[in-house]
Amino acid sequence: MRDIVLDLDGVCADFEGAFCKKFGWDNREFVKLERRYPECEEEIGWFSQASKTYRDLEVMDVGARIARFCENEKMDIHVVTSRPIYTTQTTGEWLKVNKIPFKYLSVTNGVKLGIIERINPLFIVDDLLNVVEPCASVGIPSFLIDHPWNQKEDLDGIIYRISSFDEFLAKYTAYFDF
């Protein structure tokens, strides 16, 4: 099995940076954007639903380097991201323009877990605890990109917190016993 699952926002695409530039850098411990700025709920909704938001995101080095490493290792990269479905074409174009390798793209409005379980990947890379914890509980090694919204002291199972490509590589090689 050489399939891996890679998330986009918070892993390869800097949605957080774009959001914070527009709304501010407060309350980043909340993953739900509306909890950070409840008085801006409608404007946050428009921002989160706009195709332009996703087209203009900056690349995150850690995710881009992981994707290139996996491509070099002949792994099939499944990008599985939670975004509005109508951004699928924009998302694919963003990946190509930014030279993020992938073989398959799944854009879902909802829960990613079912898609990930069907793929049954060698490992996943994501930034959300509600994605990595269930994956780890069924034996899927999970690399968690470190962010303020995913801080938790005890990461049970096979969850590896990383903030750089070098950390990923060290934990990947240790886990897969190279």
Q: Which CATH number is 129's domain given?
A: 3.40.50.1000
User: Is residue 80 located within the same domain as residue 123?
Assistant: yes
List pLDDT tens digits, range 12-61. Answer: 999 999 999 999 999 999 999 999 999 999 999 999 999 999 999 999 99
- In this prediction, residue 109 carries a pLDDT of 86
Kindly report the backbone phi and psi dihedral angles of residue 118, in degrees, each rounded to the nearest multiple of 5, phi listed first: -65, -35
Shared domain check, 119 and 32: no
CA–CA separation, 117 vs 131, rounded Å? Answer: 11
Q: H or E segment at 77?
A: strand 76-82
Domain of residue 151: give its range.
3-14+58-175
d(CA 94, CA 54): 8
**Claim to verify: residue 122 and residue 136 sit in the same structural domain:** yes
pLDDT of residue 178: 57
Q: Identify whether residues 19 and 90 lie together within a single domain.
A: no
Q: Are residues 96 and 162 in the same domain?
A: yes
- Whose tokens are 């060698």? That residue is 122
Are residues 71 and 155 both part of a single domain? yes
Give pTM, 2 decimals. Answer: 0.94
Give the CA distances from residue 53 to residues 58, 77, 95, 96, 109, in Å, rounded to whole numbers and listed in that order.
10, 24, 14, 17, 16
Nearest to 45 by CA among 59, 27, 58, 32: 32
* pLDDT classification of 111: cutoffs 50, 70, 90: confident
Name the domain count of the chain: 2
Do both 74 and 38 map to the same domain?
no
Q: Could you give the CA distance from residue 63 to residue 173 in angstroms, rounded to a whole number?
A: 17
Tell me the β-bridge partners of 143: 125, 160
* Mean pLDDT across 151-155: 79
Asked if the model's pLDDT at residue 98 lies above 60, the reply is yes
Higher pLDDT, 94 or 176: 94
User: In terms of C-beta density within 10 A (0-12 exposed, 13-18 middle, 19 or more buried), how is residue 4 classed?
Assistant: buried
For the cut 80, the answer to whether the pLDDT of residue 141 exceeds it is yes
Q: Find out whether 143 and 123 touch, Cβ atoms under 8 Å.
A: yes
Q: Distance (Å, rounded) from C-alpha 78 to C-alpha 7?
A: 9
Domain shared by 133 and 160, yes or no: yes
Judge if 143 and 131 occupy the same domain. yes
CA-based max dimension of the chain: 51
